[in-house]
A and B are shown apart, each in its own frame.
Chain A
Amino acid sequence: MKFEHYGIGIAKGLTVTIRHLFRHPVTVQHPEQRLNTSRRIRGNELVWSRDRCTGCATCAKTCPQGVIQIVTSVDLVGNKYEVAKYEVDTGYCISCGLCVESCPYGALFMGYAYERAKYRRNELVQGKEDMMLESGKKQPSGYFYPEIARELPRQTLLVERITEKA
């Protein structure tokens, strides 16, 4: 290719790059500075409510990965079945959220936390106690539960952090 004035295009482009030098960085230093995640975040854990769950196992049937295991009592305890075992192998869970959407009693939530790396694979298998909402240790996310979402902090958006005109 032949150019009449070689370098004009490059110089034009460099003005853009130079202008970037005087802008605020858009990145944050992660572990110290944190941005708020979405209120609907599908974090990599599930939160389960002992009081609301009836052991109907709709969630287990809906799960495309088949990672939810439920064992219920044979007889009714009060007016519902007692859930003897509720176990999710989060290592196989793809955090799709379909189980949460399918639960007819509003007993299953996605977790709000997202940093849940474990050292061993068997620690990824979450039982009743690990996931229980009533234990108060788990924060459910607002995925499919708008009333929970309203309470959570507002998501930080890049569109709002960059205000200057390009």
Chain B
Amino acid sequence: MMLKTEPFVLNIGPVHPSTHGVFRMRATLDGEVIIGLEPVFGYLHRGIEKLAEERTYGGVIPLTDRLDYLASMSNNLAYVLAVEKLAGISVPERAQYLRVIMAELQRIAAFLIAVGAFINDCGAFFTPFLYMFREREKIVDLFEMVSGQRLLYNYMRIGGLSQDVPDEFFPALDRFVRQMPAFIGEYERLLKENEILLARAKGVGILSQEKAVNCSMSGPVLRASGVKWDIRKVDPYLVYDRFEFDVPTGSVGDCYDRYRVRIEEIRQSLRIIKQAMEQIPSGAVKSDVPHLIHPPAGEAYAHIEAPKGELGFYLVSDNSIAPYRCHVRAPSLMNLTTLREMIIGWKIQDAIIIFGSIDITMGEVDR
């Protein structure tokens, strides 16, 4: 006798610890295997792009903090770069170096969370996550020192930075840079060869090279699929062309590769910070920019390599004090578009890992 079966629809989220925010996956299951998936988002929509249209150019910067709240510095940077391009404002050398240092520290902090949360999803419940948070805390301390807040930094300004770093910043940064490699080594000992992690992540959720390129993936997800594409190399902004660093890539494009690429990226970011600390000149950190700027009518797009991928701001100006249109090319949203392809055919417990390995922030997806 044949048992009659029918697909079962399961809602994962929106309030579920492994959805990293308020995200909902509407999965159609055949037994344990996922045969259909519909990502549902929009629960965190705050209309940031629209809000930006009624604020002055400078007043939008605190809003950008709230996009990817785990990488506020990167958001600040992408936005001010777009405005500077639009208005043709130059930035002093020291500010450019400090921006590089901040952006790279932010990348490390965001990768630490990404990896920690991913390992958490794999079942290592919170121990590695908290090790990661301890290391991130050191970076957050530094950010707190320069900007006064721990999450929403609002540190970059049009034409430079809000203020120069205090005297105690560079000694502390130096200590951090010296402590961090030992921590990475320890962390690699903890998990790199862990059989449970290997069994759960290796070969799971493969994203082929063609698919990754076709779906305009970026960041570690793209590089894990074996594409050597890093905005810092292909379209250098700030002073990135003066630093030596490698672009780590994966070979297969599975969850394990994405995890490995992120760890490698931390090492490369440390390398950049070290070089920037040696080269940094002294001088002003902000060029003379009035509080209200009126960029000439036109449009500009600036993109940076944010922790999650290519983060771009597209601004249209009509020569008034506020942007006429502001659009954010959010890497989290773009990277989410391949979720269905990656998950279909895998079991429900793999879905959590695959989703975790993309590393998204809902604030950026919904905006």
A40 to B148, CA, bound (A): 5
| Contact, CB under 8 Å: B144 / A38 | yes
Contact of B194 among A10, A26, A41, A165 (CB under 8 A): A10
Query: Is the contact region of chain B dominated by helix, strand, or loop, or is it mixed?
Result: helix
Interface size on A, residues (CB 8 A): 46
Residue count of chain B within 8 Å CB distance of chain A: 49
Contacting pair B172 A159 (CB below 8 A): yes
A110 CA / B163 CA spacing, docked (Å): 14
Taking the complex as formed, is B191 at the interface, i.e. its CB lies under 8 A from any CB of chain A? yes
Partner of A144, one of B152, B163, B182: B163
| Interface-side segment among B134-142, B222-230, B324-332 | B134-142
B184-216 with Cβ < 8 A to chain A: 185-187, 189-196, 198-199, 202-203
Q: B166 within 8 Å of A by Cβ?
A: yes
Task: Tell me, in angstroms, the Cα distance from A149 to B148 when the chains sit together.
Answer: 11
Chain A stretch 71-127: residues in CB contact (< 8 A) with chain B: 94-98, 101-102, 110
Stretch at the interface among A47-55, A128-136, A150-158: A150-158
Inter-chain CA distance A40–B169, complex, in Å, is 12
- Contact indicator per residue, chain B 222-253, by CB within 8 Å of chain A (1) or not (0): 00000000000000000000000000000000
Is residue B309 contacting chain A, with contact meaning CB distance below 8 A?
A: no
- Given A62-B291, A158-B134, A166-B186, A96 contacting B193 (CB threshold 8 A): no
Cβ B55 vs Cβ A12 within 8 A: no
Residue of B nearest to A27 (CB): B134
Q: Considering residues B61, B149, B203, which has the most beta carbons from chain A within 10 angstroms of its beta carbon?
A: B149
Evaluate contact between B58 and A1: CB separation under 8 angstroms: no
B144/A41 in contact, CB under 8 A: yes
List A3-26 residues whose CB lies under 8 Å from chain B.
3, 6-10, 12-13, 15-17, 20, 26
Q: Give Cα A17 to B124, complex, Å.
A: 12
Q: In the complex where A10-B194, A97-B162, A141-B148 touch, is A158 in contact with B186 (Cβ < 8 A)?
A: no
14 contacts between A and B (CB under 8 A): A1-B195, A9-B193, A9-B198, A12-B189, A13-B194, A16-B190, A17-B127, A64-B59, A94-B152, A95-B149, A146-B163, A146-B166, A159-B141, A159-B179
A interface residues with partner B (beta carbon < 8 Å): 1, 3, 6-10, 12-13, 15-17, 20, 26, 37-42, 58, 62-64, 94-98, 101-102, 110, 141, 143-144, 146, 149, 154-155, 157-160, 162, 165-166
> Which chain B residues have a beta carbon within 8 Å of chain A's beta carbons?
55-56, 58-63, 127, 131, 134, 137-138, 141-142, 144-149, 152, 154, 162-163, 166, 168, 172, 175-176, 179, 182-183, 185-187, 189-196, 198-199, 202-203, 291
